[in-house]
A and B are shown apart, each in its own frame.
Chain A
């Protein structure tokens, strides 16, 4: 075996004990094939024992897209797969070749891998993000909250200096109320979405220009059973000041990481 070939880049694990060649569909057109052991197999390509690394975003994006395409191809072929994290490369060691080490790992982890396969079998992952426009909601809150309305009335009758102080109080109160509202909406959306999916995970929210992410969820949904979720998200998307991002189906990346 050449030194350049002493690593195996692992794309995913499938529940199939067969030897199969997918052709040159891998990262940088590498040949992708299965390494089976018992009832499981690893979908891999041969590589050197070096991580794929580049400071060029476009190259990394291309690799990640290739990784995803291989996982999707395997998914089409096998029905259920456990996608690996990017740059998972198993190497030769003193005890054995990279292939030996993959087989050994499949044996050692068989129980855990099968548990994970059971968890995701028949399901697809979807990404759900709900955004809100704080300005729209602040407008609604200052109209409906009695305390805020009272403060606003009072400001009108105050002198300039006092009005400034009242304004500050008003802003603080509005911020508090917005926080409460955000929490209420979070709980409300969480419960509504929870009722439409097999499983869900709360992800970190991210800040975007001109809109705030209120909730970021990964949802596991039974294949072909997305209608309740689609309908619920449609309802949320129609609400004034809210918008929904709905992506997928994804291989179940978010439901296989933790042991």
Chain B
């Protein structure tokens, strides 16, 4: 089967990549949203505006990030077990 690059069919895939991935600059030369570096916040929420970001709640974001990292760790563990 051939991969698709059709823009309409792959918009979600594009958003997942451009908004959640890519190189992140972790330095004080990067712009901030209300004093908070963009890397520390949910970029999707930040783009939608400060109000949305506060609606999401920064604490929940951090919480979500921590949980996500934990899930990823666990997944990796499962996979390294699967590999052996």
Q: Do A and B bind each other?
A: yes
Residues in chain A within 8 A of chain B (CB atoms) = 7, 10, 12-13, 49-55, 60-61, 64-65, 67-68, 82-91, 93, 98, 101-102, 104-105, 108, 113, 116, 126-127, 187, 190-191, 202-204, 226, 230, 233-234, 237, 244, 246-250, 253-254, 256-257
Which chain A residue shows the least CB distance to B28? Answer: A93
* Residue pair B22, A247 in contact (C-beta under 8 Å): no
| 28 A-B contacts (beta carbon < 8 Å) | A13-B23, A51-B47, A52-B47, A54-B47, A55-B48, A60-B47, A65-B14, A82-B22, A85-B21, A85-B43, A86-B47, A89-B31, A91-B29, A91-B30, A105-B25, A113-B23, A191-B83, A226-B3, A230-B1, A230-B2, A230-B3, A234-B1, A247-B5, A250-B14, A253-B17, A253-B21, A257-B21, A257-B24
Closest CB of chain B to A248's CB: distance in Å?
5
Bound: A226/B5 CA distance, A: 14
A85 adjacent to B31 (CB under 8 Å): no
Q: How far is the CA of A209 from the CA of B2 in the complex (A)?
A: 24
- Closest residue of chain B to A57 (Cβ to Cβ) is B48
- CB-CB under 8 A from A108, the residues of chain B are 27
> Which residues 19-58 of B sit at the A interface, judged by CB distance below 8 A?
19-25, 27-31, 33, 38, 43, 46-52
Interface SS of A by simple majority: mixed
Contacts of B75 in A (CB 8 A): 202
A105 to B27, CA, bound (A): 8
Q: Would A83 and B47 count as touching, CB distance under 8 A?
A: no
**B18→A64 contact, CB < 8 A:** yes
Q: Does B7 contact A (CB under 8 A)?
A: yes
**Contacts known (A55-B49, A87-B43, A105-B27); A254 close to B4, Cβ less than 8 A:** no
B48–A254 touching, CB < 8 Å: no
* In the bound complex, CA of A13 to CA of B16 (Å): 20
Determine whether the beta carbon of B82 is less than 8 Å from that of A190: yes
Whether B19 and A64, one on each chain, are in contact in the complex, defined by CB atoms closer than 8 angstroms, is yes
In Å, the complex CA distance between A55 and B55 comes to 13
Given contacts A53-B47, A230-B2, A250-B14, 8 further A-B contacts (CB under 8 A): A10-B25, A12-B23, A68-B18, A83-B18, A85-B23, A85-B24, A104-B29, A257-B22
Q: Which of B25, B31, B43 sits near A50, CB closer than 8 Å?
A: B31
Assess whether B23 is in contact with A254, with CB atoms less than 8 Å apart. Answer: no
The answer to whether B1 touches A83 (Cβ under 8 A) is no
